Structure 1
Amino acid sequence: MNSDFEDSRLTTAWLEALPYHPIFNSERLGETSEDFQGLKFYGQPRTKPSCITATGSKLLIVAIDSEIRILNLMEFKLAWREAYDHNQLDTLEFDDYLPEWITNVKYITLHTPQIKYSIRSLVVNFKEKGTLLAVVGDYELSVLIIPKSVYSEISSEKITCNVYNVGPYYHVIGLSPIAKVLWHPMSESGSHLMVLTEDMLLRMYNIVNDKNEPEQTFNCTQTAQTSNENHRKKGKAVSFCFGQSSEAWGNFVIYVLTNLGEIYAMCPVVPNKCVCEKFFLEMLSSYIKRKYERGEKIVETNPNNREDYLDILEQYRLQFNWIKRVFMDLDNNFQTAVFSPPPFEKFRVEVQGPFNINPEPLTISDHSYEASDILMLGTEPLNVLVVAFTNGRIDICIETEKIEAMWQIPAIVPGEYTAHDLILYECIDLGYIKDYVVPSTGYEPQLTTSINRPCLVPDPYYRDIFYIYHLAGVHGINVKGWLDELGKVVNQATCKDSLDEPIYESFFSKNLKSQINWIACTQPSDPDPLIGLTIMEDIQLCYAAFMLSSTYGFVFHELSARKPLKTYDSVLLNEELSPKKTFDIPKINPIPETLTRFLDNQGLSHQPKMVPPRNQQNNRGNEIDVEFFHTVMGNFQKDVYEIKEAAMALQKRFDFQTKELYRQIMEIANLRNFIENYSEDRIQQLSERLNSLKNRQMYLDSKADRIIQRIMNKGDPIVSEFEKQYYDSLEEIAKAIKGDDGLKNKMIMLQSRHKYLQEDYKLLKPELEKDSLGQPIILSGSQLSKVENALNQEMDLIDNNVRLIEVVQEKLKLIKIN
């Protein structure tokens, strides 16, 4: 991504110096033995780690040990640029010492004595605001307010900030561990924090109002269970995500994942002072009304099967009441709506699920595994739901049914209405090593799944790509290819207004796959899991993925905006629109598929960046490393072969374009010769001819007028009696309208009189009475009806008096004054 600097080569070179900044140094790290330093030092967290984040204010925030450190990236980049201008970068040896320009860029340490636990995750409320920071441990949870001094010039290396422990009665050691923490994206103030614990309880805290007690609590376990479910193993919550669809109830849905891979959904989950577009609520209201009316029609047309639809119809009725109460509290003067969820004290939000996933997922290894994370991409035309597992399996599912709001109501008719289906489109195996060896255990293999906690991260720009970081590094997965094809199929089926199964069968028969890119690799080496990944998007800095390892090694990978090139065939004239061509346009080969795939890949490479632990960066590779590098070199050769083929295809395309350019030049030359041969004498002759035609046309018009007048005088030279009466009536009408006593003057008088009456009415109009709080007193319906009846009677009396006055005025006009 281009920056504000004029030299495009310098846009991301400053990132190469960032890993050496002292912000990533740890005193405890040197005290840990080198073998398996990452696992011994960082430990095995219960919570998915995310110890690095970036804000829209150009701040990089990392958790080192139990400290929270902040670095101003813009200041660091400017310092690097100054060193570059003074030619101080070529002589740098980062392994020996830190140059002065790096040490001069100080980082800030937030003084947080209340945080005494190991920090596992950092979550900023809104990246563009970044005022609240959630600090998550295995059991404890705190929220700190980032001081304003951080955003200004750095005056101190240590700043005290306000730290608040959230839910001290619920999030302590000995109770249920924390599974995941997210800020609610639809909170007006950005202060609603969602906390999921492993006991399937989802709590919503409003940090501004109350940090000790949750504003709302949702139990993610189903209350009613069948006999089969009672014997089923109960899972624990591991992750959740928000819905990303702007249709129906999509933005009010929360998806919850258990360690057994079960997916549940709840809707509506709405914070107080929820903010959204008013247009979204209007569409939702129309959607609910249509479904409610359709349900009533089904019940009316099928009276014998009426009981089968009572539960669903009751849910539609509750949805209708919910949206009706929301609109009662809205301010119609704004396009953005701010509302609170209507109080449904008698009904709690229903837990929908577990989802039925078809077909069954594949078994990629014999190792025991658990589900780890879930992410809703919010793609079009169908939503894609991604589930990650500890053994490296990624399930990409298509959401075929829209989740709707449901509440727990007494079952009128026994039945299941909360089960939904997901289509498992693809089951991906990331392919990293499934076991490792710990020397202290006698070289016995240990399962990777026991320490692996894969985490999913969405891309801030493109919804059809996401990232996953885990024990073995980082992968980027792009679903754009097959999702675009699916969109075409859905559009075709929509145009036919019917479910055309052969169209969908042809799509699934193609077996299109997602594009998988290994961005960073921590294998083969001692396990050094990545404990954080964030996407930095800033026009002045970069568009890159920032990663942090368990030994606090910083890794970056530059991303790029997509630059899709339109093929020449799409620019050619359409034969149906232009059937008559004067020349033939040659067909030019489209852009090679390899190159197009690379341009749509956002700078992601097939070959991962090798990330050894910090204590092994200067060591030579062992036997496993050599074998791994052989595999990498084989992949490089394959990529070089594909690039060579793409270059040959581009050369053919270039030859075609050269021929087309020559043809266009010849056509332009012929047109130029034709214009030059078109002499000025001929243009002068045409101008004189046009002038003569114009004069002749004027002569003909005057001649035709004389002939028509002559014919009229000859046919009826004297005005008839009827025409005279018609002319007289026109004069009377004009006098009645425009005369002194005409309608026009009367209308002006009435308008002025109406204006004076309005001013008198404003003076006589009484002010609304107000209560003790200064609010106007609003009458009830019965009181308003009584007032209206009294006013109607008064108006009748006034009309009678006006009529009597007019009669008296008419009689006075008849009296002659001597």
Structure 2
Amino acid sequence: MPKIRSFSAPWLQEPNPGHKLFEQAEETNRLPASIASSRNASQGPNRTIAHRGNEVFVARGREIRWGDLADLKDAWEAQQSRTGSASHLNGDGSDSSFEVYDEETSRLPQGPGYRVIKTPVASEIRQLVISPNKDQLAVLTSHTVHVCMLPDTSHLTSGETAPFKPKFWTVGPTTHVTSKSAVVSALWHPLGVNGSCLVTVTEDAVVREWELSTIDRWSFDTPTLEVDLKKLADGTSLDQDFGASTSTNKAFSPDDFDMKVASACFASRNSNGWAPMTLWVAMAEGDVYALCPLLPRRWSPPPTLIPSLSVSVAQKIETLETDPEATREEKLLAKQQLEWMADLDNQEPKLLDGPYGEVTEVYSRPSRPGSIPRLQGPFELAVAPQDEQDDEVELKDIFVIGAKRNTADLMMGEDFELYADDDDKDSLSVSVICLLSTSGQVKVCLDIDGVEAQWLPPRNASTRAFPDQAIPSLLVFHTFDTLKPAEMTPDSWPVFSEDVTTRYAFYVTHAAGITYVSLAPWVSLLESELQSDSEAGADFRFDLMVKGQRAEVDRIYTPQHAQNVLAAATAFKSSDLGHFVLSATHNDPVIMFFDTPESELMSDRQETPMSTEHGETPEPLTVWEPRPLFHPSEVLSRPSTLPPWVDALRTSRKRPLMQQEVRLSVATLEIFTEGHRLVSSEVFELNNAVAELFRKCEALTYELKEQITKVYEVNQRIETISGEGESRSTKEQNISEEMLVRNRIDVMKVRQENLARRVENLRKRLGQVSTRELSDKEKAWAEEVRNLAGSILGDEEEEEDTTSASISTAGKSLKRFEEVQSLRDALFEQAQQLQSTDSVDGTASPMPVMKIPSEIRKQKVAQVMSLLDRETALVEAVKSRLEKLSIE
């Protein structure tokens, strides 16, 4: 998992303006924290944070607060830089670039980097879901859905201080109302045209598709597709009506309990096959259903989706034609898929301009065999007995990771290959479905069989009497808990959140904290097992892998107040801010910064000079560990309710009692009883807040002592490395810190002078070097030297080509060297013999004695000596070259 670097962002902490983004709304300021948090927990998932790049949208009450985190950070850094300069500060030391928070009106100040967005909602906002193109924002309350047309960033940073009022549209003004079922999920369809298709799922298991268009108001009033899953589960043919019932009087049905929707989810757009058009629905009772293919009336597939579906359907039909055991239902399903693909192939796609200058191909939803698919499920979960949950535990959220794209089958027989994304390299060829319950238990399931498109049979006698279809199943690969038994609450609503670094990592947010989960440890190993052709020992290998490989599960944040309800964690990764996760309590932000690969590389580079003698880099000693910020309880800053109560008494019918002496009466007893209730509740909360603050201060002293101890250890290591520790250990040398610093400075000064002197000498020598061209005699001499070297050492170019050529040249040079030595020895022996015969006989030689002048003799001797010196130099050169060749 990524290492947490920090738990704080100063530009988002109080009293900076960025903290105002996360403060309570006006209508909840006067509510106790326990009441507000319990009310938030009972109304559904809390997804109140959405982002667009560095921009963040935070829902507080009935308003949305927009902020640019990069601008807030830059403004805070600029303010800190101006704080050190008195010329940029006011007389009281405050910065005038930010407005002061107005305590009387409790209004969020406007300024650079943040702004208030007014909404037409009538109740508290529960979810914010941003569209794939980042131009629309779905705003959900418990029963209503609104869509905000997000303006460009330049409009929000234009310098205006008034609250911004963008265009809002109400989705289903007569459908999603408080008198009908609650909305549990609103999803932007991954295959919608320019991300404009919204899918809403209500608690009563009704799925609606809204293909939104700003130029067509009717698209917000009526859905293009409406499916009642309870009717579809009992359907028998395509011709039935599966729309939601419009009558308000409903009879009792067991499906109202078994098919109470908790959450729904799509796979990502770049998933393989049928996954992007499959809607997974999790019921509160524990059942899981799939609806495939669920498409809008006009949809835009990725470039490889339709070819991959054509290949899979063709392979399936070819397999069924050669399989004698194929059932009639399987053949009918293959025929329906072929009709669906034929209708799709006969279309001519329309080309539309995308948001970033891209051209988008738009197809119409095939009309054959039908627009409403068959409901697949409930899926049977292969759960071990020890992993089965209690009957009272309910599912709360579902998260689907689609299978990777199979480009190998798609490009079979082609001369080139499709480009594979980095996410597809270490991905699974099966879909992963994660289920989350109220107890914090996460089940990681694998769709081994693969969900494919299915429709109900047509309405005729020959195909209606099929036997019951086999129950689909999901393989429960891994089960783990994210909550302790003491942290479980029946009214909690934990949720999943995606990670931005890898598709196989996510966050689980619940009232007890935020948990990071990574499935990467077993994904690559499982994919290699699935792709292997060997079936020998497959059961043993899978069993060993299931028992050995586990997901990385780590609690990265635990709130200090147990009653706080955390917003769903939102992951960010940008070059300006880094990699971090943002959440929020009812009044404060929660942020965790992670180490990015760039920072890890920089730290490695900084630690390289500290390598040891063996070439190993020692790990740096951690002086302090990051820990969450401590926020004192808001009870300490909350105004007392006693003065307003006293003012209310002075204007009530008990006003005469406030102006006279205390007398024993029923009215006086009522006043004292009510006053005691108010004072006792406030005193109790204040005592708890002060006790918590005292415990934190007491723990802070121990943490400070621990940090001082670690700093002392680092100091000892530095002194040991620099050699100053031994000198201090001796009592004979009692040198102060100042003397040590001065001595070190003197040594460095002397070293600097020596380096400057050496540089000056080198500069003078380089200045004396002539850069003129060689003369003709020098060129002739160099050519003669090259010829002589070639005649003695052979051709150097051939020598550098291969090792065999080098060995042959070395042999020639050695042979020639030996011949020269033998000739020299023979000449020396002859000269010695002549000298010995002349000295012994003392007689004149039979040869005529020639008188050679002394000048000529001296010249000849000088020539011989020069030749000998030259020959000696050549011999030494040959010897050194032979030594180099032998070394190589």
* Normalised TM-score (structure 2): 0.58
Are residue 82 (structure 1) and residue 78 (structure 2) matched? yes
State yes or no: 1:137 paired with 2:141.
Answer: yes
C-alpha contact 2:382 2:473 (8 A) present in aligned 1: no
1:682 Cα offset (Å): 9.8
CA distance in 2, matches of 1:215, 1:465: 34
Q: 1:559 to 1:203 in 2, by over 3 A?
A: farther
Aligned to 2:266: 242
Partner of 1:46: 43
Deviations 1:485-506 (A, max 9, x none): 3234334x24x37783232232
Which residue does the alignment assign to 2:117? 110
Contact persistence 1:118–1:137 (CA under 8 A) = yes
SS at match of 1:76: helix
Which of 280, 299, 323 pairs up with 2:305? 280
Following the alignment from structure 2 to structure 1, what is the Cα–Cα distance between the partners of residues 797 and 62?
A: 96
Aligned to 2:281: 256
Deviation at 1:384, TM superposition (A): 2.3
* Superposition deviation, residue 140 in structure 1: 1.0
Aligned equivalent of 2:20: 22
Q: 1:293 maps to which residue?
A: 318
Distance 1:376 1:151, change over 3 A: same
Matched, 1:171 2:176: yes
Is 1:150 aligned to 2:155, yes or no?
Answer: yes
- 1:754-786 Cα deviation digits (max 9, x unpaired): xxxxxxxxxxxxxxxxxxxxxxxxxxxxxxxxx
SS in 1 for 2:344: helix
SS of 2:434's partner is strand
- Going from structure 1 to structure 2, the CA distance change for 1:364 and 1:606 (only over 3 Å counts) comes to farther
Deviations 1:52-94 (A, max 9, x none): 11112x322111111122123232122122123324599x9xx
Larger radius of gyration: 2
Change (3 A) 1:541 1:420: same
Q: Following the alignment from structure 1 to structure 2, what is the Cα–Cα distance between the partners of residues 473 and 418?
A: 37
Q: 1:317 aligns with which of 318, 325, 335?
A: 335
Which residues in structure 2 correspond to 1:694-709 (within 5 Å)?
Answer: none
Structure 1: unaligned runs, 5 residues or longer: 1-7, 436-447, 567-586, 599-604, 652-678, 695-818
2: CA distance, partners of 1:10 / 1:682: 73
Aligned 1:537-556 pairs, distance under 5 A: 537-549=573-585, 551-556=586-591
Question: What is the one-letter code of the residue matched to 1:329?
Answer: Q
Write the deviation string for residues 98-154 of structure 1: whole angstroms up to 9, x where unpaired: 864453436322233x3112111111112xx42211110111111121234534423
Aligned to 1:183: 188
C-alpha distance in 2, partners of 1:392/1:416? Answer: 33
Match of 1:716 in 2: none
Distance in 1, matches of 2:7 and 2:480, equals: 40
Against the structure 1 CA distance between its residues 135 and 691, is the aligned structure 2 distance closer, same or farther, given a 3 Å change threshold? closer
1:217 equivalent in structure 2: 226
Secondary structure of 2:530's aligned partner: helix
Alpha-carbon contact 1:106-1:157 (below 8 Å) kept: no
Does the alignment pair 1:196 with 2:201? yes
Would the aligned equivalents of 2:52 and 2:134 in 1 still touch at CA under 8 Å? yes
Whether the aligned pair in 2 keeps the contact of 1:377 and 1:464 (CA below 8 Å) is yes
Contact kept? 2:381, 2:475, Cα under 8 Å: yes
Change in 2 beyond 3 A, CA 1:683/1:158: same
How far apart in 2 are the matches of 1:136 and 1:547? Answer: 18
Q: Distance in 2 between matches of 1:155 and 1:565?
A: 41
Give the conservation status (yes or no) of the 8 Å contact 1:61–1:71.
Answer: yes
Distance 1:242 1:346, change over 3 A: closer
1:514 aligns with 2:551: yes
Assess if the C-alpha contact under 8 Å between 2:349 and 2:363 holds in 1: no
- Which residue pairs with 2:397 in the alignment? 373
- How far apart in 2 are the matches of 1:425 and 1:171? 37
Match for residue 395 of structure 1? 443
- CA separation in 1, counterparts of 2:574 and 2:558? 26
Instruction: Tell me which of 542, 548, 567 is aligned to 1:504.
Output: 542
Whichever residue aligns with residue 386 of structure 1, its letter is: C
Tell me, yes or no, if the aligned pair for 1:139 and 1:175 is still in contact at 8 Å.
Answer: yes
Paired AA for residue 483 in structure 1: V
Correspondence for 2:211 among 206, 214, 230: 206
Matched, 1:470 2:467: no
Instruction: Give the Cα–Cα distance (whole angstroms) in 2 for the partners of residues 82 and 193 of structure 1.
Output: 42
SS in 2 for 1:474: strand
SS at match of 2:159: coil
**1:530-569 → structure 2 map (5 Å cutoff):** 530-549=566-585, 551-561=586-596
Q: 2:484 aligns with which of 431, 434, 456?
A: 431
Mark the runs of 5 or more structure 2 residues left unpaired by the alignment.
100-110, 237-252, 352-357, 404-426, 458-462, 602-613, 638-685, 722-781, 800-888
Distance 1:283 1:464 in 2: 23
From 482, 504, 527, the counterpart of 2:522: 482
Contact preservation (8 Å) 1:165, 1:211: yes
Contact 2:200/2:208 (CA < 8 Å) preserved in 1? Answer: yes
Q: Identity, % of aligned pairs?
A: 20
Q: What do you get for the CA RMSD once the two structures are aligned? A: 4.7
Whole-angstrom distance in 1 between the partners of 2:389 and 2:204: 28
Once residues 558 and 85 of structure 2 are traced to their aligned partners in structure 1, the CA distance between those partners, rounded to angstroms, is: 28
The separation in 1 between residues aligned to 2:524 and 2:599, in whole angstroms, is: 14
Structure-1 separation of matches of 2:129 and 2:630: 27
Residue identity opposite 1:319 in structure 2: Q
Superposed CA deviations along residues 357-376 of structure 1, whole A, max 9, x for unmatched, are: 11247569879321100001
Q: Deviations over 1:521-574 (max 9, x none)?
A: 125x3501113432223222332111121x2321111134458999xxxxxxxx
2:50 alignment partner, SS class:
strand
Contact 1:361 1:395 (8 Å CA) reproduced: no
Counterpart of 1:71 (choices 59, 62, 67) is 67
Secondary structure of residue in 2 paired with 1:246? coil
Q: Write the letter of the residue equivalent to 1:168.
A: P
> In 1, distance between residues paired with 2:470 and 2:632?
51
Contact 2:478 2:550 in 1 (8 A): no
Deviation at residue 462 of structure 1 after TM alignment: 0.7
Asked if 1 retains the 8 angstrom alpha-carbon contact of 2:632 and 2:693, the reply is: no
Deviation at 1:609, TM superposition (A): 6.3
Deviation at 1:174, TM superposition (A): 1.6
- Mapped partners of 1:613, 1:343: distance in 2: 60
SS at match of 2:262: strand
Distance 1:247 1:111, change over 3 A: closer
| Pairing 1:650-799 to 2, within 5 Å after superposition | 687-688=790-791, 689-690=794-795
Give the Å deviation of 1:345. 6.5
TM-score (norm 1): 0.63
